[in-house]
Each structure stands twice: as structure tokens, then as C-alpha cells.
Amino acid sequence: MEMTDVREDLAAFRREVSALREVVSALREEMFALRGVVAPLREKVTILNEVVAKDNKETKKLKGEYAALHDAMVRLEQAIIEERTTRQTVVEDLRQEVRRRAAPSGRPQGKITKAFHDVTAQTEPQPSAHSDVIVQTEPQPSADSDTTVLREALRTVTTFDAPSAIGEDQLTALLQSLPHLEELTVRVPSFGTGRWLRLLPTSLRTLYVAGPEMTEPRWPGWYGNGLSVSLQGVAADTISHLATELGSRITLLVTDAQVTTIPSQLRDAIIRVGPNTIILPAGVGDSELTELRSSRETVERLSVSTADLPRLRGQLPEGLKRLNVRGPEVTEPSWPGWDEDDDLSVSLQGVAADTISHLADLRRTVRVLEIYDCPDLTAGSLEPLTRCPGLWWLTLSGGVHDAVLDSLSGCPGLKVLTLGNRQRPAETAFTAAAYTRLVKSCRKLQELWLHCTADTGQAVLTALKEADLGRDSDGRPRIINLIVPEELWRQLERQEGGRVTVYPW
């Protein structure tokens, strides 16, 4: 073979090797990118596996509690049957007593016609020519005697279970005869407009309103000296009726309905939503906080006023996962959108910025923090977050300035950051440069959820593409996911590139 042919073959081989190197380099880049995507997925799978394992454990626990509860309910139903039997016996005894008192001693009691009464009621009756027997009766007592005795008996009744067939007018009339009532059960068909609520006596301590499908009542218990109310299987407008007619009399409300807005009349009441959610009024007593902590119920969500937050130190229920802290003007609690394992997720609504300083005193690891409508948020007010090393998800709603973003450099474990307000995107006041500095300082930051104007979104995307994002803790090229509202995503999706990927919200 000629040397020229050898040289040509060698040159061709070198070109093939060079091309293969470029292919391998491209494949390596794709592998790095895939690892960046797979890593967070693996984290989520691990989290899901842990959640499933915990759910299985909770299911076994709930089955045991359900069996105990079922036994208790069987005993309760038997007690109710016995109580109703006793009531019927008492009423029958009252009726017998009425009859006994109405009948003259040694003489039969019965009805007589007016004509017969007129004949036999003469002062000196004469023997009949056709009979050797004289029959004499006395006038019957008033027909209202039985009713009078029953009314007196009703005045002593303290517990009443209204039949489902009773109408609102009948219930209204009946309540006027029950001045010492302490416990009342009412079915939804009787509820009507709720005007009968105005007639509830001041002695009433417990009101239970049940829907048509409810067969096992859940009593609310007592709190304070006011009225405790339990709602099961009823429409949400029932709460409005209660708030309007009873107002501040209610100190405890237990309901299985989804409460989104707290009526102003119920701001001083403890509200239990289902078995695991409690909304506490401002200024709740220390004894209630202690009882809350030791409660056998699994309290997973708790809403408290900002004034009561410092008092929760060491008082949080062990199973609590979501804590909402609301300012004085908040009527609609916003619960944190994520909870993880046994750690705590917190949302702050309409509170002063210094409220953040109390989070580290809760003696729980705060993993998720969402802050809404906090107008005096400053770099200094976020400084206490450096004492929350477990924080990995942070939401700052509203106007956020460069100094605020720079202060987040003290949160090295931050992985997810949400900025701005979707309804008011123009409030976003930070610059793309500050955003880039934050991404560089928080090396674990992976997802950026952003509400802003189109110009700000474009500037942030451009700055991130041009920045040296470095590598993650595993040495892989770092990838940033930028999540924006769908209308903004349509404008930015074609401009993504480098280490930045844009997703719609």
C-alpha cells in the first residue's frame, strides 16, 4: 500500500475520531442535563415513599381508633334508647297522674253527654218509674288540665331531640315551653330560615344540627360559658344563619363544612373544621392552648392570631403540619400549600414583619414559609430566617426590593422561591441583577416561581442565561427551572436555553 493511501486513511480515521468526540461531548451534556432533572424527581419519589409509609401507619392507627369509636357509639345508642324509654315512661306517668287527679275517688271517669249530665246533676234526683237505680256523676274537670301538667313538665326538660318531621313553626312554638333547655338536636328540614334561633334560651349550652344522612351525632363539647354548636352534613349557609342570629353567643363551632371565610360575628369563637383543623380566636386562654397540645385528636392544621403566636412556644400539637398566623384584618385563612413529613409549614397573613422573629421559638423545624400582605417587609425583618436552617421553600407575596433578595443569601438550604403577587404583578420591584446574585449565593436553589411584568420576566431570563450558574453539590452543571404564569410563558418559552428552562404556572 502506498504511503499516500495510508496517510489519507489515517486522516479519515482522525476525522471520524474527532466527530465521535463531539458526539460523546454532546451526549455528556445531555446526561448532565438529565441528571439535573432526575435528581429532583428522585427526591420527590423518596418523599412520596415516606409519605406512603406514614399513611399506612396512620391507617392502622385510624382503624384501631375507629373500632374503639364504634364500640363507644354502640354504647351511646343503647343509652339513647334507654333515655327515650325513660322519657316515654315519665310522660305516661304524668298522664296517669292527670287522670287520677281528674277522677273522683271511688267513681268511674268517663265522658257524658250534656243532656245526661243535665238530668243527673239535679240537687234531689227522683227514682225513675222504670228503674230502681239512681246514677249520679260530677262535672268533668277542664280539658286543659292534661295540657297544663305537661307544660309544667316541659319547663323542667334540659335535653330535647327534635323529630325530623317537625316544622319550623312547630319548633318555634315548642321552644317557648322549654325555658331551661341545655342540649338541643335539630335536623336540617326543621332549620328553615333559622328565625327560631332567636328563641333559644340563655340556658342552652349545646346545639347539634344534623343533615339527613347523619346517624351518629358528633357533639362539640363545651368551651367557655357560651354556646357550643356542632354542624354535620349541612349546607354552608347554615353557618351564616348561626352567625346572624346567635352572634357572640357562640364560643365553639364544630363543622364538617369547608370554612373559607370566618363571619365577623364568629371571630371570638373556636372553630373546628373536621377532625384535624382548628381556628383559634384572638386571646384564647392558656388552658385551651394546653388542652390543644395534649388533645387526643390529630390536629394537623392550626390558625392563630399574630398576637397569640409568641404564646405557642412549646404548645404546638405534636402532629401539627400546617400553621397559619393571621393579622387582625384577616377573615379567610390561607393554609400553606405544602407539608413534608413531621416538619412544619407556616403561612403569615397581614402581620407585621417582626412576627417572623417568633418562628425560631416554636421549637419545630420550619421547612415551608409563605408570607402574604406584609407591607413593612425589609431586609432586616428577614434576618431571623438565618435561624431556620431547615427552610427550603419560601414565598414572598407583594413588592420585593433588591435589598430583600440580597438578605436571603443567609438561607443556604433554600430550594424553591416564589416572588410577587399574581393579581398585582406590577408590584414586583427587584432587578434582574439582584435575582442573579441570589441564585449564585443560594447554591441549592432549583425552582424560581415568579409573578412579574413581561419586561421583568424577560430581563430575569436573559440575566440567568448569561450568568455562570456553576455546578451543584454533586459536581453536575446546575440547571434552574423558571416558572412563570402561562401568558408570560408563551412569550419566553422560545428564548430559554443554556442552563435555564421555562415552565408555565
Q: What local confidence, expressed as pLDDT, does residue 221 receive?
A: 66
Q: What is the residue range of 87's domain?
A: 60-101+146-153
b or e along 124-149 (b: 16 or more beta carbons within 10 Å of the residue's beta carbon)?
Answer: eeeeeeeeeeeeeeeeeeeeeebeee
Q: Indicate whether 293 and 252 sit together in one domain.
A: no
Q: State which of 219, 240, 272 marks the end of a domain.
A: 272
Residue 26 in domain: no
What stretches of 373-415 adopt beta strand conformation (E)?
393-396
Q: State which of 348, 374, 400 marks the end of a domain.
A: 374
Tally the domains of the chain: 4
Percent helix, percent strand, percent coil in the chain, to nearest 5: 45, 15, 40
Phi/psi at 270 (5° precision): -75, 130
Q: What local confidence, expressed as pLDDT, does residue 379 receive?
A: 82
**C-alpha span between 394 and 143 (Å, rounded):** 76
Q: What local confidence, expressed as pLDDT, does residue 317 receive?
A: 84
Report the chain (505 residues): mean pLDDT per 10 consecutive residues.
73 79 79 75 78 76 66 62 62 56 39 28 37 39 57 78 78 83 80 78 88 70 78 80 86 80 82 85 79 71 91 83 91 81 87 88 88 84 85 86 86 88 72 88 88 86 86 81 87 83 86
Q: What local confidence, expressed as pLDDT, does residue 373 receive?
A: 86
Q: State which of 374, 408, 423 marks the end of a domain.
A: 374
**C-alpha span between 138 and 460 (Å, rounded):** 104
**C-alpha span between 292 and 247 (Å, rounded):** 24
**C-alpha span between 284 and 308 (Å, rounded):** 8
Q: Indicate whether 396 and 505 sit together in one domain.
A: yes
Residue 22 in domain: no
C-alpha 219 chain-centroid distance? 18
**C-alpha span between 441 and 467 (Å, rounded):** 12
**C-alpha span between 445 and 472 (Å, rounded):** 9
**Residue in the block written with cell 364504634:** 70
CB 159 within 8 A of CB 183: yes
Q: What local confidence, expressed as pLDDT, does residue 138 receive?
A: 43
Q: What local confidence, expressed as pLDDT, does residue 104 receive?
A: 43
**C-alpha span between 85 and 98 (Å, rounded):** 20
Q: Indicate whether 198 and 268 sit together in one domain.
A: yes
Question: Can you give the three-state secondary structure of 189-218, one letter per residue?
Answer: HHHCCCHHHHHCCCCCCEEEEECCCCCCCC
Q: Indicate whether 81 and 165 sit together in one domain.
A: no
